Amino acid sequence: MNKRKKKGFFITLEGPDGSGKSTQSLLLARYLKRKGYKVVRTREPGGTSIAEALRRIILNPKNRISKVTEVLLYEAGRAQHTSELILPALQKGKIVICERYTDATLAYQGYGRKLDIRMVKELNRIASSGLKPDLTILLDLDVREGLDRARKVSRGRMDRMEQESIRFHERVRKGYLEIASQEPGRVKLIKVKETPEKTHLKVVKVIEKLVK
């Protein structure tokens, strides 16, 4: 149970760029709604008007942002997103599905940018008010394949993070896999090898064991 008292269930979808988080978030939300659950689907960076404004700053390829500024912008958006949207929804007993959360910052800014891991964890704790996901689905695939997928979806208009080097994205993937190995009870690893529909079935198998 998280430190904050809540009634709902918090699910996050994580993974390298192009792993299909948005698609799986949409399919999962539809599935749970058909089952009669009240579902809130959101994303990071973003989710509220303030956080979406920060998202545009963070991901704009024209912006040259230092790695410390970057992590603080992510955490500022998260603080607003958590207090304004996520916690109120959980306290109302809803299931919240979020594309990326604190694990993403640890993977991208901690492992990818090589910022101090302990510092990133502490910033995550502050920005999230101590909230941790009840379940995290980690969608894993080869970095080059993921970036190719992201490029096709964006029609070549890659955002600032997607434009980073292969080595950066390899470090991010390694970070995600380390997080999964450290928290196997919370983080469930799903290899993205098949169609979105087949991947969704794997997600559902995990969800059915936990969401009552």
In a domain, 138, yes or no: yes
Q: Phi and psi for 9 in degrees, rounded to 5?
A: -135, 130
In a domain, 17, yes or no: yes
Domain that holds residue 175: 9-210
Do 41 and 128 contact (CB within 8 A), yes or no?
no
Query: For residue 95, what pLDDT is reported?
Result: 98
- Using a 10 angstrom Cβ sphere, with 0-12 exposed, 13-18 middle and 19 or more buried, the burial of residue 197 is exposed
Query: For residue 2, what pLDDT is reported?
Result: 43
In a domain, 3, yes or no: no
In a domain, 2, yes or no: no
In a domain, 125, yes or no: yes
In a domain, 200, yes or no: yes
Task: Say how many domains are in the chain.
Answer: 1
Element spanning 152, H or E: helix 143-153
In a domain, 155, yes or no: yes
CATH classification at residue 32:
3.40.50.300
Two tokens at 75?
A: 């955490």
In a domain, 148, yes or no: yes
Query: For residue 6, what pLDDT is reported?
Result: 65
Two tokens at 197?
A: 């529909």
Q: Which stretches of the chain drop beneath a pLDDT of 50?
A: 1-4
Query: For residue 1, what pLDDT is reported?
Result: 35
